[in-house]
Amino acid sequence: MPETTSWKPKRIRRVANAIPSGTSVVEVVTDAGAGYVKFLGNREGPHVLAAEYVGTRLAAELGLPTLDWSLLEYDGIPEITLKPSGKALPGTAWSTRKVEGSIWSGECKDLDVIENQEDLAKLVLLDQWTLNCDRYRPLPPPPRINYGNVFFSRESIQSSKLRLLAIDHSHIFTCGNPFRPDMARIDKVRENTAFGVFPHFTSKMKRQDAQAAVDAMNRVPMDTIRAIVTDIPTDWEVSDDIRRAMIEFLSDRRNWLSAHFTTSLFPQNELF
């Protein structure tokens, strides 16, 4: 069975807000409290749900804090209209618990108040491991700068601090396009775009944090990676060929990043 978190809603009681996003996310009230749900029937297709699932579980394996999540079996009740168009379809939906917090303003000073500043390097590594184009992508111009995908939780261990969470992985691997069986081709494995490297991040990341992120990635067992991909719900339409390609890509990409990630962030440090 897929790994899950302690948040386990069973049914949706009412819709609070349908948000006109790419994945047509809906804010809901469930029997376990408030949350957000991405349904089958969203305009970007079922593979973005698989991307959320794989990205979130890989983030947790790296040691990154994530949103509490659950695979919610939606039976069509209540009927939900998605925005900008369409209807939520019955089947496995991706749900996350609503967390008190805020998105990043883009100001460098806001990074000083997060309690887990060392996780900035892990977040960047996650984006590069999975080719996440939707948080920060420098090329092609203009750059993609999405402060909305950098979230600080107020549910912090220290009352005066905020906690960086890894959120929103819907555009990993293929930038929101359907997955393909050739996703493990060599140009993707050796992609050197600096995904995730916000300019303000570079002044806060340390070389030892980058190396610790690589070490954490290398400690993820291949059996765990296979299990994550195998556990993708079948109604999200990820074929066996694509699952095999995804596992191959994550393995080969990890090997490539192990040799290149730290020096790509700190090239001059090799002189000291």
Q: In this structure, what CATH number is given to the domain that contains residue 39?
A: 3.30.200
Q: Structural domain of residue 248, as residue ranges?
A: 101-271
Q: Do 89 and 114 reside in the same domain of the chain?
A: no
pLDDT at 5: 73
Confidence of residue 79 (pLDDT cuts 50, 70, 90): very high
pLDDT > 90? residue 155: no
pLDDT in tens, 193-213: 999 999 999 999 999 999 999
Q: Do 174 and 257 reside in the same domain of the chain?
A: yes
Q: Do 91 and 107 reside in the same domain of the chain?
A: no
Q: Do 106 and 92 reside in the same domain of the chain?
A: no
Taking Cα atoms as reference points, which of 212, 195, 238, 210 lies closest to residue 52?
238
Confidence of residue 125 (pLDDT cuts 50, 70, 90): very high
Q: Do 66 and 126 reside in the same domain of the chain?
A: no
Which residue do the tokens 């050796």 mark? 190
Domain of residue 237, CATH code: 1.10.1070
Region 217-231: mean pLDDT is 98
pLDDT > 90? residue 139: no
pLDDT at 236: 98
pLDDT at 47: 98
pLDDT at 270: 47
Whole-angstrom distance, CA of residue 70 vs CA of residue 10: 9
Q: Do 212 and 130 reside in the same domain of the chain?
A: yes
Q: Is residue 7 part of a domain?
A: no
Q: Do 41 and 172 reside in the same domain of the chain?
A: no
Q: What is the mean pLDDT of the chain?
A: 94
Six token digits for residue 210: 């980058």
pLDDT > 50? residue 147: yes
Q: Is residue 65 part of a domain?
A: yes
Q: Is residue 6 part of a domain?
A: no
pLDDT > 80? residue 157: no
pLDDT in tens, 25-78: 999 999 999 999 999 999 999 999 999 999 999 999 999 999 999 999 999 999
User: Percent of the chain scored above 70 by pLDDT?
Assistant: 95
Whole-angstrom distance, CA of residue 223 vs CA of residue 217: 13
CB 27 within 8 A of CB 91: no
Which of 39, 67, 97 lies at the terminal end of a domain, its last residue?
97
Q: Do 155 and 38 reside in the same domain of the chain?
A: no
Q: Is residue 2 part of a domain?
A: no
CB 215 within 8 A of CB 153: no
pLDDT at 191: 96
Give the dihedral sign, CA 20/149/92/174.
positive
Q: Do 123 and 248 reside in the same domain of the chain?
A: yes
Q: Do 88 and 128 reside in the same domain of the chain?
A: no
Which of 70, 97, 124 lies at the terminal end of a domain, its last residue?
97
pLDDT at 269: 52
CB 202 within 8 A of CB 265: yes
Q: Is residue 119 part of a domain?
A: yes
- Provide the number of structural domains found in the chain: 2
Q: Do 71 and 156 reside in the same domain of the chain?
A: no
Q: Do 52 and 76 reside in the same domain of the chain?
A: yes
CB 198 within 8 A of CB 121: no
pLDDT at 95: 97
CB 15 within 8 A of CB 34: no
Which of 62, 97, 132 lies at the terminal end of a domain, its last residue?
97
Whole-angstrom distance, CA of residue 208 vs CA of residue 117: 12
Which tops the pLDDT comparison, 140 or 26? Answer: 26
104: how many CB neighbours lie within 10 A of its CB? 19
Q: Is the pTM of this model over 0.85?
A: yes
Q: Is residue 107 part of a domain?
A: yes
Q: Is residue 4 part of a domain?
A: no
